[in-house]
Amino acid sequence: MKIVVLKFGGTSVGTISRISNVANIIAKFRKKKYKVIVLSSAMSGVTNDLISKSKKISKVFSDSEYDVLVSSGEQISCSLIAGKLIDKGFKSRSWMAWQIPILTEGKHKFSRIVDIYKKEILKYLNSGGIPIIAGFQGINQQSRITTIGRGGTDASAIMFAKFFNAEKCIIFTDVKGVYTTDPNKLKSARKIKVISYEEMLEMASLGAKVMQPHSIQDARLNRKDIEVRSSFINKPGTLITKRKNIINNKIITGVTSTQNDAKVTLVGVKDRPGIAASIFRPLSENSINVDMVVQNISANGKETDLTFTIKLDDLNKTKKIINENKNINFKKFLFDKNVSKVSIIGVGMITTPGVTFRMFQSLAKQKINIQVISTSEIKISVLINKKNIKKAIFALHKEFKLDK
């Protein structure tokens, strides 16, 4: 018999009637003769509420107690799902991570799943039971409860799919799937039927919020198909799979934009070997992620301008680090919060010439100025003024016929 892993996100289990609906979805998979492993998030809002309680009781709430506290939300949703399934005549029970156990390594709040003990769960599946397992949590070598980062139930589900060799992992959420671009920004955005792991990874890292990038990477490494679909309507969602499973005639798969970037420019930097390293070393030591970088060729051979982007949240820290850096000399330090990185993503660009030109030309037609450019094998990103995001997305979506 085939195993399927079903993951339900917070909104899908957000109310009692939604949990009943989830039980109906699970029942349908049982009807199709699947062995079903369920992973659930906490009811929506619960985790945030627990986090705010921890902040209210202490400004220095310990990380290990944070994990005990915030992982408790999943206990509620899992028992409610199991309870409803029992009510419908199924054999079901809940499992917390420590009962299985799900072993994790690494720091509290940001642990990683390294092993899952399968014996009990397999026995239960073989006896016809439906295990309902708490996502987001694990235990470490010291038997302390751990969590694996916000939104971690995706990662839990993918690890279960891997360890139990499931046929696929279905992520039930509140959107119908992955879209060619954010449907809130562009009405003509369309649901993507299939997308490769690589494209999905780029989309998620570049601003599409459907799934955490690192769980997509886990699925890619373990070659597990993922389907993202809505728990509210019964329609196929988006399949995330290997490139070779995809027959697609589109050059570009999606367009994304970011909201939380900042641009930093150092004007008149004394140009000498090692200067870029002197600027970026202290940033990396402070865990500041530098994204796009351009360095102008200096006209006089002595001075150059250097521009790069960082997360908006890191701007103050970056200013401080640059101003205190004694190893660099520059004339002016500029920054800009009104920028957005707009990207086009698609494996089709590997084999199609002229994609870069078409992107730049369609932005030019809209009189949108490109400030910084960066590319990889399957994506082209440009930094533009935030006020032009909608116009840019509209133009690019149309240019690459994503609305068709």
Q: Which residues bind Mg ion (CB under 5 A)?
A: 10, 41
CA distances from 220 to 112, 151, 240, 381 (A): 16, 18, 9, 23
Rounded to the nearest whole angstrom, what is the least distance from the CB of residue 75 to Mg ion in the complex?
14
14 binds ligand ASP (CB under 6 A): no
**Pairing of β 332-345 and β 372-376:** unpaired
Q: With beta carbons less than 8 A apart as the criterion, state whether 248 and 401 touch.
A: no
Q: With contacts defined by CB under 6 A, how many residues of the chain interact with ligand ASP? A: 11
Where are the strands (E) in 214-302, listed by range? 226-230, 238-241, 254-257, 261-270, 293-295
Q: Could you give the CA distance from residue 242 to residue 198 in angstroms, rounded to a whole number?
A: 9
Residue 135 binds which of Mg ion, ligand ASP, none (CB < 5-8 A, kind-dependent): ligand ASP
Backbone angles phi, psi at 78, to 5 degrees: -65, -40
Which 3 state secondary structure label does DSSP give 220?
A: helix
* Contact partner at residue 153 from Mg ion, ligand ASP, none, CB < 5 to 8 Å by partner kind: ligand ASP
Of 148-156, 235-243, 265-273, 299-307, the segment contacting ligand ASP by CB under 6 A is 148-156
Element (H, E) at 281: helix 275-285
Q: Which does 136 bind (CB under 5 to 8 A by kind): ligand ASP, Mg ion, none?
A: ligand ASP
CA distance 22 to 8: 8
Q: Nearest distance from residue 241's CB to ligand ASP, in Å?
A: 22
Peptide bond preceding 101: is omega within 30 degrees of 0, i.e. cis? yes
Task: Output 42 or 345, the one with its CB closest to ligand ASP.
Answer: 42
Instruction: Output the smallest distance, CB 314 to Mg ion, in A.
Output: 25
Phi, psi angle pair for 245, to nearest 5°: -85, 0
Residue with Cβ nearer ligand ASP (47 or 318) = 47
Site string for ligand ASP, 293-332 (x = CB under 6 A): ----------------------------------------
Is residue 152 part of the contact set for ligand ASP (CB under 6 A)?
yes
Residue least distant from Mg ion (Cβ): 10
Backbone angles phi, psi at 152, to 5 degrees: -70, -10
Name the segment binding ligand ASP (CB under 6 A); options: 40-48, 170-178, 278-286, 381-389: 40-48
Cβ-closest position to ligand ASP: 153
Token look-up 């509620």 returns: 76
Instruction: Residue 98: name the closest of 60, 149, 142, 52 by CA.
Output: 142
Contact string 42-71 vs ligand ASP (x = CB under 6 A): x----x------------------------
**How far apart are CB 298 and ligand ASP at their closest, in Å?**
47
Of the candidates 146, 65, 47, the one whose C-alpha atom is nearest the C-alpha of residue 103 is 146
Phi-psi region of 143 (alpha: psi -120 to 50; beta: other; left: phi over 0): left
Looking at 11, 21, 41, 362, which residue binds ligand ASP (CB under 6 A)? 41
- 207 touches ligand ASP by CB under 6 A: no
Smallest gap from Cβ 146 to ligand ASP, in A, equals 13
> What are 124's two structure tokens?
């239960």
What are the structure tokens assigned to 229, written together?
A: 């679909």
Closest contact distance (angstroms) between CB of 62 and Mg ion is 22
Tokens encoding 336:
């800009």
* Contact pick of 8, 66, 124, 136 for ligand ASP (by CB under 6 A): 136
Where along the sequence are the contacts to ligand ASP (CB under 6 A)?
10, 41-42, 47, 73, 135-136, 150-153
